């Protein structure tokens, strides 16, 4: 008797080959299956008094429908966003009523009885359709939910508009971009309304079998109003998502921990005390400190203070005179620092003066030949040969396993050995831009040694130097029809620059395209030397080490800029710490979703070096939301 129903899945698929979201396809297919069941059950009343189990057949068919609804991924909604939406509290109350009845409905479907009991199912049906003493009917709750989501009145704010502001306020706390959160909210509303719609039609069909009425008018009225509401909601969500942001990054943790939430460049451009007599091969003091803008230490004249500190074997840059005499607190042995603080005779202090772990060293300038003043200069040491200087970035590309239909679902910086790498998370791509959560994994970093055989600077890795220490801050997004499948750092004009790989894909089938040049690399090639709108520098003002306080860091950079790794402020930290730090917290939307771009940003606050961090851009599902349903409206009962 139910041969027509057995073809519903195939029929629904045939009618749904248009590019539509997964939740829209589930809704449309469910409505079609219910329409066919309605037509199929129209002649069942004549058999209702026979013990043919027709009510059991109906329950079985609706159990299949509900199984498919429950198999659909129910997205997570961030409570910290929803708690700030007054309207959502009212909607949630009605949703609880619907979902409570749905749970009872599903529990009754699961009964192992070979024969369905009419009294039990009459109670279920009447509970769905009619108000009870302490609870509204499901039809009433459905109407209230739909009214609260969008009343359809021009100029009124809908729930999605209200959600957008809250989503943007909590972007980096909820692991979802505002755009993704809005679509998840839309999906959740759709699922709840679909469950109510399904229960109502089941109830009418069952009561019709039991000769309790015809209910055709009621069913047609509900379908018409339901599709009108779905169209309203679709137009609303598309409009709001079109204006919402799709970027995502990680907020500051409760406490930054070296090696757990951040890593840093070490012993790079450190403040360094050197006498000018050691900055030239003639051992003379004819110039002044400012003369030595770039050079090397030539010796250690008469084993003075230079002999009591580790030498700078690289370049010495940016020298300046502070004062002739000073007291120096050297950092403990094996520290990444050279000095903890310096106090000059004129009272000026570099760094925070406190108890010194070593004997404080007096360091005095002197006169030579009565007319040469050999001054101690405060310079910066750029010594890549220092074994404790970690200043390397991998230039090797990192891609998902596209041959197995895997795409990038997350990204982070990691430090392996002395090298900073980009690491990706990957997962299997599914139809409608979804990701199989059970397949999500971080791809192991391909480690290598800068001194390894065949490893070359400029090809395999980039080494920061005084001349080449810039990192480009960019948002790189993919052309339409592409999905993120790889990332890498490259060198452009001496800058580190982010490049991303995009691969074309079929949204409906969830398949990457492999033929021809389906995967391409994209980036922002602009430089600070460009004639037309050159890159500008994101400057740090008197930056201290960012882990010295727990102040909140906020995104303060713009795309198409760059930042230079430099030393911390001399006044605050004796220029001993390389800044900015590198945020290694993972950036990965939850639940995982398709991505269409990546970027690098800077998070900071006044007088802090801040952190450079990755960001991601989620796929805009709103482009595939359908707001009209001609084939569904044409279906007849």
Q: What is the pLDDT of residues 456-497, one digit of tens each?
A: 999 999 999 999 999 999 999 999 999 999 999 999 989 999
Residue 191: what pLDDT?
A: 95
Q: Which alpha helices (DSSP H) does 150-214 contain, by range? A: 159-169, 178-209
Question: Residue 106 and residue 124: Cα distance in Å, rounded?
Answer: 11
Number of CB atoms found within 10 A of residue 141's CB: 24
pLDDT over threshold 50, residue 578: yes
pLDDT over threshold 60, residue 528: yes
Q: Single out the residue of 545, 481, 557, 469 nearest to residue 512, CA to CA.
A: 481
Residue 633: what pLDDT?
A: 63
Q: Which pLDDT tens digit goes with each residue over 350-377?
A: 999 999 999 999 999 988 776 788 999 9
Contact 598, 498 (CB under 8 A): yes
pLDDT over threshold 60, residue 382: yes
Dihedral through CA 37, CA 42, CA 43, CA 49, nearest 10? 90
pLDDT over threshold 50, residue 3: no
Cis peptide before 240 (omega within 30 of 0): no
Residue 634: what pLDDT?
A: 58
Of the listed ranges 150-159, 261-270, 419-428, the least confidently predicted one is 150-159
Q: Single out the residue of 268, 296, 347, 315 nearest to residue 609, CA to CA.
A: 268
Answer with the residue of higher pLDDT: 119 or 91: 91
pLDDT over threshold 80, residue 245: yes
The angle subtended at Cα 211 by Cα 135 and Cα 8, nearest 5°, is: 80
pLDDT over threshold 70, residue 113: no
Question: Residue 238 and residue 581: Cα distance in Å, rounded?
Answer: 39
Residue 199: what pLDDT?
A: 96
| pLDDT band at residue 7 under the 50/70/90 scheme | very low
The angle subtended at Cα 424 by Cα 419 and Cα 430, nearest 5°, is: 170
Report, as an integer, the average pLDDT of 44-70. 76
Report, as an integer, the average pLDDT of 20-41. 92
Residue 518: what pLDDT?
A: 77
Residue 50: what pLDDT?
A: 43
* Cβ density class 375-408: b for 16+ within 10 Å, e for less: bbbbbbbbbbebeebbbbbbbeebbbebeebbbb
For residue 393, what are the β-bridge partners?
420, 462
Question: Residue 507 and residue 24: Cα distance in Å, rounded?
Answer: 14
Residue 367: what pLDDT?
A: 85
Phi, psi of 362 (to 5 degrees): -75, 130
| pLDDT band at residue 550 under the 50/70/90 scheme | confident
pLDDT over threshold 70, residue 306: yes
Residue 16: what pLDDT?
A: 39
| pLDDT band at residue 5 under the 50/70/90 scheme | very low
Dihedral through CA 526, CA 527, CA 529, CA 530, nearest 10? 0
pLDDT over threshold 90, residue 614: yes
Q: What percent of the chain has a predicted confidence (pLDDT) above 90?
A: 69
């Amino acid at each position: 008797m139910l041969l027509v129903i057995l073809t519903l899945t195939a029929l629904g698929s045939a009618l749904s080959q248009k590019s539509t979201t997964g939740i829209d396809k589930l809704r449309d297919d469910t409505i079609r299956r219910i329409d066919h069941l309605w037509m199929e059950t129209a002649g069942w009343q004549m058999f209702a008094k026979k013990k043919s189990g027709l009510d059991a057949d109906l329950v079985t068919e609706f159990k299949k429908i509900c199984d498919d609804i429950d198999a659909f991924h129910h997205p997570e909604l961030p409570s910290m966003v929803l708690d700030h939406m007054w309207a959502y509290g009212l909607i949630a109350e009605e949703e609880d009523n619907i979902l409570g009845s749905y749970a009872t409905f599903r529990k009754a479907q699961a009964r192992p009885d070979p024969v369905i009991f009419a009294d039990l199912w009459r109670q279920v049906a009447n509970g769905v359709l009619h108000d009870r003493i302490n609870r509204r009917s499901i039809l009433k709750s459905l109407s209230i939910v739909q009214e609260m989501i969008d009343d359809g009145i021009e100029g009124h704010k809908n729930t999605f508009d209200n959600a957008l502001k809250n989503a943007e306020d909590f972007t980096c706390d909820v692991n979802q971009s505002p755009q993704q959160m809005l679509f998840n909210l839309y999906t959740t509303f759709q699922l709840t309304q679909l469950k109510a719609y399904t229960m109502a039609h089941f109830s009418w069909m069952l009561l019709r079998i039991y000769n309790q009425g015809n209910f055709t008018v009621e069913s047609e009225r509900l379908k018409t109003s339901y599709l009108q509401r779905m169209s309203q909601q679709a137009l609303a969500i598309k409009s709001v998502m079109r204006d919402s942001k799709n970027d995502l990054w990680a907020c500051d943790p409760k406490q930054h921990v070296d090696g757990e939430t951040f890593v840093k460049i070490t012993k790079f451009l450190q403040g360094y005390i050197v006498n000018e007599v050691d900055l030239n091969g003639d051992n003379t003091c004819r110039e002044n400190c400012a003369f030595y803008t770039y050079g090397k230490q030539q010796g250690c004249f008469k084993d003075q203070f230079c002999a009591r500190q580790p030498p700078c074997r690289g370049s010495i840059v940016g020298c300046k005179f502070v004062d002739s005499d000073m007291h120096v607190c050297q950092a403990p042995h094996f520290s990444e620092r050279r000095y903890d603080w310096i106090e000059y005779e004129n009272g000026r202090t570099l760094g925070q003066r406190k108890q010194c772990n070593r004997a404080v060293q007096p360091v005095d300038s002197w006169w030579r030949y009565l007319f040469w003043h050999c001054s101690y200069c405060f310079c910066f040491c750029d010594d890549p040969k220092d074994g404790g200087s970690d200043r390397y970035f991998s230039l090797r590309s990192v891609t998902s396993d596209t041959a197995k239909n895997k795409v990038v679902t997350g990204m982070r910086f990691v430090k392996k050995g002395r090298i900073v790498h980009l690491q990706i998370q990957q997962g299997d791509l599914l139809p409608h831009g979804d990701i199989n959560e059970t397949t999500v994994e971080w791809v192991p970093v391909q480690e290598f040694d800068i001194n390894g055989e065949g490893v070359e600077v400029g090809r395999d890795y980039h080494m920061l130097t005084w001349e080449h220490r810039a990192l480009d801050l960019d948002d790189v997004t993919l052309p339409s029809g592409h999905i993120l499948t790889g990332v890498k750092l490259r060198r452009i004009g001496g800058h580190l620059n982010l490049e991303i790989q995009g691969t074309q894909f079929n949204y409906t089938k969830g398949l990457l395209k492999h033929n021809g040049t389906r995967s391409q690399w994209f980036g922002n090639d602009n430089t600070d030397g460009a004639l037309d709108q050159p890159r500008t520098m994101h400057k740090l003002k008197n930056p201290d080490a960012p882990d010295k306080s727990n102040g909140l860091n906020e995104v303060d950079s713009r795309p198409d800029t760059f930042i230079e790794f430099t030393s911390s402020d001399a006044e605050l930290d004796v220029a001993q710490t390389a800044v900015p730090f590198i945020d290694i917290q993972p950036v990965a939307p939850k639940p995982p979703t398709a991505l269409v771009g990546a970027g690098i940003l800077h998070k900071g606050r006044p007088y802090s070096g801040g952190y450079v961090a990755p960001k991601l851009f989620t796929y805009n599902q709103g482009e595939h939301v359908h707001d009209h349903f001609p084939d569904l409206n044409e279906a007849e009962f």
